[in-house]
């Protein structure tokens, strides 16, 4: 066994697996608590209280902390998860069993795989070198995210088809059409960003996420430089994560539950978690691309020291931005009404796509003019 794998490699693989488990744990926890945040924020916006009863038996007797945790509903995600686990498994008789079971898995795996290339901070070494904190800091990071998240369509399409029910099928078809349509605008909106960062003369040339984040250190955040790109990306992100106002796949008023109408108990839970994992990772990617990642405010150098405290503060700052964006997702959901399906398609194809193309051409011209001026001044 040891023959084909050197000792050091075993250690490295084990370390990677450990980090991967940590990352999955962090993202899943955030996804679980996003559900709680969704319920709490919606309650707050509608003048209700929200979940405030669930509590572990021994926690409620802790003097001051216990009641606060109970009022915040901190144990609600745990109760929800257990409820999904212990509910009766019902498989309708008219489904295609194999694909019916496969679909939730195919929906969850891409949602969790995109986190491998997500950079979330910096590590300052003693000798002054800086390395990015990420499971794999690929040179083609953003393309990896697009490629893997485009596989998520299969989960929804297969769920809709294998359920063998009209509501599910319509939900699945709608959702896949929507995701394919908005992928174009999403990809095109990012081209100007990478053109800008990798313009001639800059040290960067590639599609790496960490390079984008580092290019915003001490300078303008990219959403200040490219507001239109940021807006198109954000709208497309809402559509890709199937959030209201774009939640065509499960528009309750006309499709019951959309593609997961026939799903119950834990299989429904997996779809649910996959949706929130998409939101968490989408928010994190928007933070890296447009909100400066782990760097402090625009035009201000990072105030924290270049050691492990700085690393921790950077990661915390990154998390704070991501959590704000998750809140933004929830905020928009409970503010805007749902679009009609033809409005969604119209917005995607005849508004966002041309806008993204114009945006790309304008920034191409700007980058060319800057480059020409620089060449003339040499």
Partner 1 sequence: MNAVDLLFWLFAVLSVGGGLFMVFSRHPVSAAMFMIVSLVGVAALFVLLESFFLAILQVLVYAGAVMVLFLFIIMLLDVGPEAGKRKLSHFKTGIFGILATFLLVGILLILGNSYDSLALDQSIWPELSESKDGGASQGLPFSTKVSSFGYGLMTKYMLPIQVSGFMLLAAMVGVIILSKKTPAREDVK
Q: Give min distance, CB of 337 to partner 1, in A.
A: 28
Closer CB to partner 1, 150 or 217, in the complex: 150
Residue 35 near residue 271 (C-beta atoms within 8 A): no
Closer CB to partner 1, 149 or 322, in the complex: 149
Q: Give CA–CA dist 341/41, Å, rounded.
A: 27
Q: Give min distance, CB of 146 to partner 1, in A.
A: 6
Q: Give min distance, CB of 370 to partner 1, in A.
A: 19
Contacts of 257 (CB under 8 A, 6+ apart): 167, 171, 250, 263
Closer CB to partner 1, 153 or 230, in the complex: 153
Q: Give min distance, CB of 365 to partner 1, in A.
A: 18
Q: Give min distance, CB of 154 to partner 1, in A.
A: 7
Contacts of 334 (CB under 8 A, 6+ apart): 41, 42, 45, 46
Q: Give min distance, CB of 56 to partner 1, in A.
A: 42
Closer CB to partner 1, 5 or 49, in the complex: 5
Q: DSSP of 233-258, one letter per residue?
A: HHHHHHHHTT-TTS-GGG-HHHHTTG
Residue 344 near residue 176 (C-beta atoms within 8 A): no
Q: Give CA–CA dist 173/165, Å, rounded.
A: 12
Distance of CA 373 to the CA centre of its chain: 39
Q: Is 130 helix (H, G, I), strand (E, B) or coil?
A: strand
Closer CB to partner 1, 207 or 325, in the complex: 207
Q: Give min distance, CB of 101 to partner 1, in A.
A: 13
Closer CB to partner 1, 223 or 263, in the complex: 263
Q: Give min distance, CB of 173 to partner 1, in A.
A: 7
Closer CB to partner 1, 151 or 224, in the complex: 151
The residues binding partner 1 (CB under 8 A) are 4-5, 9, 99, 138-140, 143-144, 146-148, 150-151, 153-154, 157-158, 160-161, 169, 172-173, 176-177, 180, 183, 205-207
Q: DSSP of 296-338, one letter per residue?
A: -STTS---S-SSHHHHHHHHHHHHHHHHHHHHHHHHHHTTSPP
Q: Give CA–CA dist 134/347, Å, rounded.
A: 35
Closest by Cα among 239, 107, 106, 110 to 175: 239
Other CB atoms within 10 Å distance of the CB of residue 157 = 24
Q: Which long-range contacts (CB under 8 A, 24 or more apart) does 47-52 make?
A: 51/76
Closer CB to partner 1, 34 or 181, in the complex: 181
């Amino acid at each position: 066994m040891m023959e084909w794998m050197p000792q050091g490699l075993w250690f490295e693989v084990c370390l990677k697996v450990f980090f991967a488990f940590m990352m999955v744990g962090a993202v899943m926890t955030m996804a679980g608590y996003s559900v709680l945040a969704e319920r709490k924020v919606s309650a707050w916006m509608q003048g209700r209280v929200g979940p405030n009863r669930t509590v572990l038996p021994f926690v409620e007797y802790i003097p001051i902390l216990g009641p606060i945790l109970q009022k915040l509903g901190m144990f609600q995600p745990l109760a929800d998860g257990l409820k999904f686990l212990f509910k009766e498994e019902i498989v309708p008789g008219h489904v295609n069993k194999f694909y019916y079971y496969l679909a939730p898995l195919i929906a969850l795996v891409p949602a969790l795989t995109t986190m491998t290339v997500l950079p979330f901070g910096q590590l300052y070494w003693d000798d002054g070198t800086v390395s990015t904190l990420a499971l794999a800091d690929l040179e083609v990071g953003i393309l990896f995210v697009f490629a893997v998240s485009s596989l998520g369509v299969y989960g929804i399409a297969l769920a809709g088809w294998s359920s063998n029910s009209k509501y599910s099928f319509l939900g699945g078809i709608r959702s896949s059409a929507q995701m394919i349509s908005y992928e174009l605008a999403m990809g095109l909106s990012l081209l100007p960003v990478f053109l800008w960062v990798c313009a001639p003369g800059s040290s960067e040339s590639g599609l790496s996420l960490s390079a984008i984040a580092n290019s915003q250190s001490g300078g303008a955040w990219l959403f200040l430089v490219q507001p239109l790109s940021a807006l198109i990306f954000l709208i497309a992100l809402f559509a890709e994560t199937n959030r209201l106002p774009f939640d065509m796949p499960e528009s309750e008023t006309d499709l019951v539950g959309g593609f997961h109408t026939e799903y119950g108990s834990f299989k429904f839970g997996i779809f649910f978690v996959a949706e929130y994992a998409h939101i968490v990772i989408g928010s994190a990617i928007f933070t890296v691309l447009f909100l400066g990642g782990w760097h402090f405010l625009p035009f201000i150098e990072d105030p924290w020291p270049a050691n492990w405290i700085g690393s921790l503060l950077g990661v915390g700052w990154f998390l704070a931005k991501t959590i704000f964006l998750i809140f933004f997702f929830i905020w928009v959901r409970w503010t805007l009404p749902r679009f009609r399906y033809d409005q969604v398609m119209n917005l995607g194809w005849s508004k966002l796509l041309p806008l993204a193309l114009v945006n790309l051409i304008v920034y191409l011209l700007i980058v060319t003019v800057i480059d020409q001026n620089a060449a003339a001044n040499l």
